[in-house]
Structure 1
Amino acid sequence: APLVPIGDELLLPEYEFCLNLGGISNMSFSKKNTRIAYDIGMANMPLNYITQKIGLKYDRGGKLAKTGKVNSTLLKTLNQLPYYKQPYPKSTGYEWFLEKVVPLIENSKASTEDLLHTIVVHNCHQIAKDIKAEKPKKGSKVLVTGGGALNPFFMDCLKDALGDSCQVQLPPKKFIEYKEALVFALMGVLKVRRQTNVLASVTGAKRDSCSGTVYLPLKAS
C-alpha cells in the first residue's frame, strides 16, 4: 500500500479519494499538494475469516451479510478499538486483526449472517468517518478498488454511510483486478526515467526517492 499512492497521484488525479478494499482498507488523497495515504482499518479480512469457518472462501456478493442484521454490542466494541483513534500516518495488518479483532468475533454469540452484516457496517462507518473528517466538497469522487469493490452489499453500505458527502465510483472490473500491477509498471517506467516513484509523505522517509534497480542483459561477447 505505501507504494501504490504514486499511481493514484499521477494516474487518477480526477478522484478526490482513492479507496482500496483488500484484506485491509486503505486510502490516499491529496491534501495541500501532498499525497496522504494510510490504513483505515479492516475490509475483507474479517469477512473471509468468518466465512471460512463455515467452509466458504468468501461471501460472494455479500449475499450472506445482506440477510443478517446489526449486532449493536459487537458494533460498539469494534468502533471503540484504539487503532481508530490514532492519527495518520498509520498502518495495520494481520497481526493486529488476530490480536484485537478475532477474540471479539470468537466471543460473540451472533449468527454468521449477523457477524458479516455487522462487520460490513462497521467497516463502512470507519471509512466514511475518515473521509468526512477531510471535509470533502460536495460531489467529491471516491474511486473504489480491491476485492471489496466487487461486493454489492459492501458498496451499498458504503454509499449509505457517506450519504451526500461523496460519490462512490467503481472502475471496470479489469482495472479493479490489475490496478496494483499497473502502478508497479508505472514505477518501473519512472525508475528508467530517473523520476520519483516513491513518495516520502506516504512512507515516512526523509525525502522522495527513485527506488528499484534496473538490470540490463549482458551483451554477447
Structure 2
Amino acid sequence: MTFHALGLMSGTSLDGLDICHATFYKDQAGKWQFQILNAITYPYSDNWESRLRNSIHLTAEDLYELHSDYGFYLGEKVKEFIHSYALENIDLVASHGHTVFHQPQKRFTVQIGDGRAIKIINNLPTVYDFRSQDVLLEGNGAPLVPIGDELLFSEYDACLNIGGFSNISFKKDGKRIAFDISPVNIVLNHFAQKLGKNFDDNGDFARLGTVNDQLIKSLDSLKYYQQSPPKSLGMEWVSENILPQLIAESPINVLASFTEHAANQVAKTLNNYDLKKVLFTGGGSFNSYFLELIKSKTSSEIVLPGNELINFKEALIFAFMGVLRINNEINILSSATGSAYDHSSGIVL
C-alpha cells in the first residue's frame, strides 16, 4: 500500500514553515521507500516571526491563544498547499508544531500549533504532538528523525542535520544513537540580523570577522559537550549558557567565533565516532564557510544531496512518522531519545 502524506516542520531558526508531500511504501523486501512529490517553504511574515520568537515570554493564557492561532495558521497553509498543487487523496497530515519550551528533565516539552485546528480546516487525518509521550517515558523527546534515518537512509554511516541546532544519528553496536551536537543557526541568524541580514549567507560575515580564541575555548568547554548521549538542547540552554558569553563581542566577530565553535563540535563528533560517510542536510548545509571549516577538521566524507532533500528532509521524516503512527508502528527509538522503550507516538485525529 502507498501512503500520501504531508509533513509540516517549523524549525527553531524561524525561517518559515516547511511542507513536504511524499509517498511511502514498502518494497518486496519489506524496506520502506519514499518519493518527494512537492515541497515548499512558506516564509513567516514579520508578525508571525515575532509572535513565535517571543512565545517563550508569554503568559500561560497568551500562549494557549497562540497555540490555537498557530494551529489555524498551519491548517490554512495546508489548505493553500493542497490547492496550489491540486492534490487529491492525501492520507494524512503530520505536524511537528513549533517548539516553545523543551525541558525533558522536568518531563515536559511544548510544541504549539493545535492539530485539531488543522483537522477542522482540512478534514484530513492528522497526527501531531510527537514529542510529549517520549518525555513522559523519561526520554529527551529529541531527536526524533533517527527513525527516518534508520529506515530511509541506512546507506549512510550517519545523518547530520544543521538547522537551529546540529543533530546527528548513526548506528553504534547495533543501535541507532542520536543527539543534538550544538547550537548553529539559532545563534548565527540572531547575530546576522544585527548586521541587517536574516542569516549569514555562505558564512560571508564569519569570513570577515576575527576569531576570539578565548571565547572558543570557553564555549568548547561547556559541560553539555562532555556529556554522553542521549542528550538534547533547547533555546533555554542557549539563553543561559551561550548568549551571555557573546554580549561583549561585535556581531561580526561573534559570527566568526561561533561558526568556528560549531564546526569544532561537529568535527569532534564525526572524529570521535569514526564516521566515514555522512549525509548533511538542513539549511546550514548551504553555509559554505561552515562546511569548509568542518572539512578542515575531519577526514569524514561529507555528502550533500540535492537541494530538495537538504531543505525538506525533516518535514519528509515527520510525514513518515505520521505514516508509522497511523499503522501503529514504532516511530521513536529509545536508543536515540533515552526513553524507557521504543514506542509509537503522536496524537491521531
Shorter-chain TM range is 0.7 to 0.9
Q: 2:324 aligns with which of 190, 197, 208?
A: 190
Deviant stretches of 4+, over 4 Å:
none
User: In the TM superposition, what are the counterparts of 1:69-80 in structure 2 within 5 Å?
Assistant: 69-80=210-221
Q: Please list the CA deviations of residues 159-200 of structure 1 after superposition, one character each: whole Å capped at 9, or x if unmatched.
A: 1111x2x10111111111111121122122223333211111
**Is residue 231–residue 337 contact of structure 2 (8 Å, CA) maintained in 1?**
no
Q: Please list the CA deviations of residues 86-121 of structure 1 after superposition, one character each: whole Å capped at 9, or x if unmatched.
A: 11111111111111111111023xx43332111111
Q: Secondary structure at the match of 1:63?
A: helix
Q: 2:198 aligns with which of 49, 53, 57?
A: 57
Q: 2: CA distance between counterparts of 1:46 and 1:212?
A: 30
Q: 1:125 aligns with which of 254, 260, 264?
A: 264
Question: Quick check: 1:154 aligned with 2:154?
Answer: no
Question: Quick check: 1:104 aligned with 2:259?
Answer: no
How much identity, in percent, do the aligned residues show?
45
1:83 deviation in Å?
Answer: 1.4
Of 7-16 and 202-211, deviating more is 202-211
Q: 1: CA distance between counterparts of 2:270 and 2:301?
A: 12
Structure 1 match to 2:116 = none
Q: Secondary structure at the match of 2:254?
A: helix
User: In the TM superposition, what are the counterparts of 1:1-221 in structure 2 within 5 Å?
Assistant: 1-108=142-249, 111-136=250-275, 140-162=276-298, 164=299, 166-215=300-349
Compare the two structures and name the one with the higher helix fraction: 1
Compare the two structures and name the one with the higher strand fraction: 2
Pair 54,213 (structure 1): closer, same or farther in 2 beyond 3 Å: closer
Amino acid at match of 1:57: N
Q: Please list the CA deviations of residues 113-172 of structure 1 after superposition, one character each: whole Å capped at 9, or x if unmatched.
A: 332111111111111112211133xxx11111111101111111111111x2x1011111
Amino acid at match of 1:125: N
Amino acid at match of 2:167: N
RMSD over aligned CA atoms reads 1.5
Higher RCO, Cα 8 Å, sep 6+:
1
Q: 2: CA distance between counterparts of 1:201 and 1:88?
A: 9
Q: 1: CA distance between counterparts of 2:297 and 2:234?
A: 24
1:213 deviation in Å?
Answer: 4.6
Gaps of 5+ in 1: 216-221
Aligned residues: 208
Q: How high is the TM-score relative to the length of structure 2?
A: 0.57
1:79 deviation in Å?
Answer: 1.1
Q: 1: CA distance between counterparts of 2:243 and 2:166?
A: 17
Q: 2: CA distance between counterparts of 1:49 and 1:189?
A: 35
Q: Please list the CA deviations of residues 6-56 of structure 1 after superposition, one character each: whole Å capped at 9, or x if unmatched.
A: 000011111111111111111111111111111111111111121122232
**Is residue 143–residue 167 contact of structure 2 (8 Å, CA) maintained in 1?**
no
Q: 1: CA distance between counterparts of 2:169 and 2:148?
A: 10
Q: 1: CA distance between counterparts of 2:345 and 2:234?
A: 24
1:214 deviation in Å?
Answer: 4.4
